Amino acid sequence: MSHIEEISIEVRDVDALREACNELGCDLIQQPHYKWFGEIIGDGGPLPAGFTAADMGQCSYAIKVRGANAETYEVGVVQRRDGKPGFVLMWDSWQGGYGLQAVVGEKCGKLVQSYATQVAIKQARRQGFAVQQKRLANGKIQLTMSKG
């Protein structure tokens, strides 16, 4: 079964995405396809806006879980279809992506959080701030910024 979902984040900084992936134990690999079920069955709801069934599985980059088993799906980093710059993230959520969800979070929440954190850190450093990052017990990320 395939249940392709578009993750609600716009990716404009591939380097920040690479850092976010590394933080979660994943690798961002430039390749033309991401691993998913491989066929649209029609029971997973509508396709993401602007995409056709033929587009599924195609990408510019794939996010792979390090040390994953052969069944584990990947997150596709796919060029936007609305004419705006950047990428969208897509993945097959069937059965939690066979281990993918355990690493990137439900609806890829951990990946989204980590990416947003990396973008904020880069922006702060460009403005001359020193940044410290701490993961709290509840899973949230705390950033402390200071100018010296």
The per-residue pLDDT of the chain, averaged, comes to 91
What's the burial of 90, exposed, middle or buried (CB within 10 Å: 0-12/13-18/19+)? buried
* pLDDT tens digit sequence for 117-147: 999 999 999 999 999 999 899 988 999 999 8
* pLDDT tens digit sequence for 1-55: 457 888 878 899 999 999 999 999 999 999 999 999 998 876 666 777 788 889 9
CB 97 within 8 A of CB 3: no
The structural domain count of the chain equals 1
Q: Which amino acid is at 19?
A: E
Note the pTM of the prediction, 2 decimals: 0.90
| DSSP characters over 62-131 | EEEETT--TT---EEEEE-SSSSSSEEEEEE-GGGGGGHHHHH-GGGHHHHHHHHHHHHHHHHHHTT-EE
| Domain around 103 | 4-146
Beta strands in 35-108, from DSSP E residues, in sequence order = 61-65, 75-79, 87-92
Distance, in Å, from the CA atom of 107 to the CA atom of 91, rounded to the nearest integer, reads: 9
